[in-house]
Chains A and B, each alone.
Chain A
Amino acid sequence: MKNVLRKVSRISERIEEFIVCFSIVLIMLNSTANAMGRYFFGKSIFFSEELNQFLIVSVTFIGFAYAVRKGRNIRMTAVYDSLGHRSRKVITTAISITTAMLLFYLAYKAFFYVQELKDINRLSPALEFPVYIIYSIIPIGLAMAGLQYLISFVMNLLHREIHLSHDVIEGATTGLGDSI
């Protein structure tokens, strides 16, 4: 069972990495192609801005879930840093469960927002593409981020160390530098 979970976690991490990388590279190619087309060939990519907006939505929400997984989030730790291990552990545990709940709530609201966009059949102005398909990534990203906090809550209950996420333990270094 534990191995299955680990496997699911690895696969979802790979998918997140792929989406984030792919979107960033595509933004670069899209913008440069648009400028070159306009300058050299007198042809603009009429959907260039719209495509970038879609890509930035996927970078933001999928990247957010990925950042939580990596324990990377912006916090104000002035008070926290001055506390002892026990208090920090209590605070971190409480924060992970409340943040998880908040993100699940937002994912739930996002799901209904996407549903509404589907019902009114909102189409993007340039590509005339159903917007809800792109925005489906929002509830997914928020729910994945919420799940990461839920997992770190469980890890904090089961283990002595302070878990900022499943993989990231406070004080330990990771490939991406110190967690903050």
Chain B
Amino acid sequence: MTLLYSGLSLGAVYALVALGYNLVYLSSRAFNFAQAQLVMVAAFVAYTALVVFRLPWVVAALLAMAVLMVVAVIEERIALRLVTDHHTILITTLGFATLLDGAAERIWGSEALDVPFPGPEGAWSLLGGRLHTVDLALVLLAVLLVVGAHWYRRRFLSGIAIIGMSQDREAATLRGIDVRKLALITFAVSGALAGLMGAFVGPKTFALTTLGASMALKGFVALAIGGFGSLYGGLLGGFTVGIVEQVSARYLGAEFSHISVFAVLMLVLLVRPRGVFGRVRERVV
């Protein structure tokens, strides 16, 4: 059970990265390579706020959200807005990710920094396993945010508008939707989401500059399992990746955790290239 819990909590991290990918994909039809790097920077911001400035946790989380929102808006402006084709966006967002990696290393160094968590330190016994507060919080956060996002897109007009715009930007414009503004706002929200995540993920994984790449890839596997644009798919995909990683590390050895996840990705691409929840659409000339 302990293994399952730690798998789920790690999976929650990937699910949240996948949620960020999905938000940007739905609103801009683009893939934001730097999503995980935003989370990585957020963990450092949370560290600075909590440890250096000794701010209360809630304030630190809000600060991380605000900072990352600004960073995300900058990214949208320089790496997405000016570029039109999706191939190039892949390169420019990868560039932004590299830039964030480099900048974080310059500012915070390459050592792992321990981000404190406000909840009780200990772990509880639950159904024959040990569950840490951080783990529980992460899983709850992932489930809440994904359910919330799903609810938002069915319930609120702006949510409906984002889904409409993901299908046909021109038709959305003709219904009075400012598609560029809405895409920018959604991008900023994905940044704020990364900021919030940083305050939760930091305590779980430490703040570390090399965190971004691994989170980006596992988040992508979660997305591939779930199918692009599927919010619940990304959540389940994230949990799957987390559990696979933990189980393989436990039974096969630590060096097999990445390899097993990679095998899962290969399997999904081979068997269901559109993801378990994705749909196939005929291409149009």
Query: Do they bind each other?
Result: no
